[in-house]
Amino acid sequence: MITITDVDTLAKVPATQWDSLASAASLYQSRAWLRWAEAHHGLPTRYVLASGADGTLLGAVATYLMRDVADKLTRWYDPVRMFLTPYCDTSEAQPHWFPVLLVGGCSGGHSEILHAPRLDRAGRTAVNRALLARCRAIAEEHDCGSLAFMYAPEEVCDEVVVALAGPTRKIVTSAKAAITLGAGGGDFEGYLNRFPSARRSKLRKEVQAYAAAGGNATAYPLGEVLPRIAPLLGAHQRKYGDPVTDSEAERYLRHQAAYLGANSTVFVDERDGDIRGFTLCYEHGDAVYAQACGFDPQGAAPFAYFNLSVYAPLRLAAEHRRAKLELGLGSYQGKRLRGADVTALWSVVIPPEHLSPECARVFGRPSPQAIFAGVAGTRPSQRGTTQIGLV
């Protein structure tokens, strides 16, 4: 027997119960990250919980109500912007899509349904059906025009399609990059030795050129450098299309410090009292996550991005015996050249009942992000940016 309940804040779920579900999940399903998302984004939130006959949690999924078109960080979760705007005029379509019920996540470029580790395939399917039936009911209660489960591996999206059992569309959306160090973390020299001699020499020269120009990778907890890196984050976001002010970037970081600061490391290029570049990392489970960055294009040392966003986090992962470095979305070619595997991320969307002929013709095409990443079965575009801002 599966009993479904839901709560409006993760504070109402005992930490031990949530942690038992999320023990093998990503950072973006951890209690700390989800509490941050509640506080920062301010979207009406419901955590849908599946319990067994003895009250033990068997599964859970987060939902977020996006009432209006997003203009800041959550715009990467706007299905109209992601799947229709690149291909057709959406001025008349948008009112029919909102509110949107986001299922599985609203940040981090990652959605997931959590399951108790002991569940077999049949158990997972039953829990998924029960959880997603409640999600659809929540969408109906709020008169949602659409429902979206965004940024997940294809096999997870396949499970969601089966569980929703409705008029869904599975769409290749983006990709994530990750470098695997292996059990025990390995070390930086072991990482370099994976590459052929010519490539290994180029990577060493990037490290040497950065150091020769005075670059460093000083490590701080987030709280110690937060006001100094916020302007760099704001500039980075604006460069890639998010109209975020420096004060909004600082607010973003302050909320993260409050909930995630204990597991944070910020690598900075600090010279003459100024921070010229930074990468914010979090440690969680078996991985280090490079989560945000920003660089002064005039003041940062050569190869600052790769030294702070790849090589320093790799050393951290090796030192703390983490098996992976999660590099997130964007800049795929540069990450591939430094040993990252790039994996497609998909979305499952229930669109409004009636799409205009123009929207119906293009809905389901790969997102430009997926094309840029080279995971959409078409050639990457030579135009536009291959890097995105915070998700």
Helices 31-41 and 246-260, packing angle to 10 deg: 150
Can you give the pLDDT at residue 386?
47
Quick one: 354 exposed, middle or buried, by C-beta within 10 A (0-12, 13-18, 19+)? Answer: exposed
Determine the topology of domain 3-174+346-373 in CATH.
Aminopeptidase (3.40.630)
Q: Could you give the CA distance from residue 85 to residue 79 in angstroms, rounded to a whole number?
A: 9
Q: Are strands 264-271 and 274-284 parallel, antiparallel or unpaired?
A: antiparallel
Q: Could you give the CA distance from residue 257 to residue 131 in angstroms, rounded to a whole number?
A: 31
Helical (H) or strand (E) element with 197: helix 197-212
Contact status, residue 218 vs residue 211, Cβ threshold 8 Å = no
| Residues in a beta bridge with 220 | 266
pTM of structure? 0.94
Helical (H) or strand (E) element with 373: helix 368-373
Contact status, residue 156 vs residue 115, Cβ threshold 8 Å = no
Q: Which of 299, 277, 298, 291 is nearest to 231 (CA)?
A: 277
Same fold? 3-174+346-373, 182-322: yes
Q: Could you give the CA distance from residue 278 to residue 263 in angstroms, rounded to a whole number?
A: 16
How do the domains of the chain map onto residue ranges? 3-174+346-373, 182-322
Q: Could you give the CA distance from residue 186 to residue 182 in angstroms, rounded to a whole number?
A: 7
- Residue 357, CA distances (Å) to 54, 173, 205 in order: 50, 22, 54
| Residues in a beta bridge with 266 | 220, 280
Can you give the pLDDT at residue 92?
84
Farthest-apart Cα atoms in the chain, separation = 64
Question: Can you give the pLDDT of all 391 residues of the chain as single tens digits?
Answer: 899 999 999 999 999 999 999 999 999 999 999 999 999 999 999 999 999 999 999 999 999 999 988 766 678 999 999 999 999 999 888 889 999 999 999 999 999 999 999 999 999 999 999 999 999 999 999 999 999 999 999 999 999 999 998 899 999 999 999 999 977 667 899 999 999 999 999 999 999 999 999 999 999 999 999 999 999 999 998 888 788 899 999 999 999 999 999 999 999 999 888 999 999 999 999 999 999 999 998 889 999 999 999 999 999 999 999 999 999 999 999 999 999 999 999 999 999 998 999 999 999 999 999 999 999 986 655 444 445 556 6
Can you give the pLDDT at residue 381?
53
- Indicate the residue type of 55: G
Can you give the pLDDT at residue 382?
45
Q: Which two tokens stand for residue 169?
A: 């569309």
| CB-based contacts of 375, cutoff 8 Å, min separation 6 | 172, 175, 342, 343, 344
Phi, psi of 126 (to 5 degrees): -65, -45
In terms of C-beta distances under 8 Å and separation of at least 24 residues, what long-range contacts does 253-258 make, across chains too?
253/222, 253/226, 253/229, 253/280, 253/292, 254/226, 255/36, 255/39, 255/40, 256/36, 256/40, 256/222, 256/280, 257/222, 257/223, 257/226, 258/36, 258/39
Helical (H) or strand (E) element with 391: none
| CB-based contacts of 40, cutoff 8 Å, min separation 6 | 107, 251, 252, 255, 256
- What's the N-to-C CA distance of the chain in angstroms? 37
Determine the topology of domain 182-322 in CATH.
Aminopeptidase (3.40.630)
- Indicate the residue type of 356: S
Q: Which of 372, 375, 374, 377 is nearest to 387 (CA)?
A: 372
Can you give the pLDDT at residue 14?
96
Phi, psi of 28 (to 5 degrees): -80, 0
Helical (H) or strand (E) element with 312: helix 312-319
Helical (H) or strand (E) element with 304: helix 304-306
Can you give the pLDDT at residue 380?
59
Helix (H, G, I), strand (E, B) or coil at 40: helix
- Indicate the residue type of 326: E
Task: Give the burial string for 225-248 (b: 16+ CB within 10 Å, else e).
Answer: bbebbbbbbbbbbeeeebebebeb
